[in-house]
Chains A and B, each alone.
Chain A
């Protein structure tokens, strides 16, 4: 079903805002995660992990779901379709993979947030989880640039489904 132009524009605005919001919140998350690993100031470390927990729960995850949902609306509600163009398919796969990794990271994020809420964190405490946050957030920033670039450049290429005649 092709959306009317006015709704299509509004949906596009929602998709751009949520997608850029997702990338932006992950950048902030990365800054906090790096501060948690590198800072010598104990209150800063605790604040960083309390903030990553809050940021993930109330910003990163909502933006991520919104970006994927509005992307689906954009695909299905326009002539682009969901599986007609390779760039749309790749963008969808990358976004869903990034969302899945984010959801799998929530355990570590919550663990660190709870530990920071309980009391001081020494430099070696939960070192693997802390390193994991940095690694996955950095990877997330790189991965989320892919959908952004694809949306702007829209590289050529029709899938087998997209090459079929419209009436088929």
Chain B
């Protein structure tokens, strides 16, 4: 079985990325100044090579680079950190902030509820009874106590605060069922 140029380029890109990570880690662990400098030079050269390879793959349409971020999303994050990393007005019962037009915007992982609050005990963006994807802060919409119950056996989507065996999601399985 032969690899195509595209396959080879993809493998080389992965190899370059791993090499850069390994060299960065090793350099941080070195106390010998000369060795650390040499390894960092190797890392820098490797990153340049990775960049050149990326350009080759993009030119040949072997690799699809990520699309630019949505401008509104960039502004939303910029605005959050420009305020010191705090929400202006925390939404009752969960995270969120008051929008200019009133009402609370409550967002989580691409799901969006606008113009109203998530109902208490309901994880944002998830219909009651459905499972939740893995990820820290997944239970952002819940009231206190939700985390405790949620992390041990599936995220609660209703009745937050109580342990809720959610059949839709099991830890260690990164999928919905």
User: Is the A/B pair a real complex?
Assistant: no
A residues near B (Cβ < 8 Å) are none
B residues near A (Cβ < 8 Å) are none
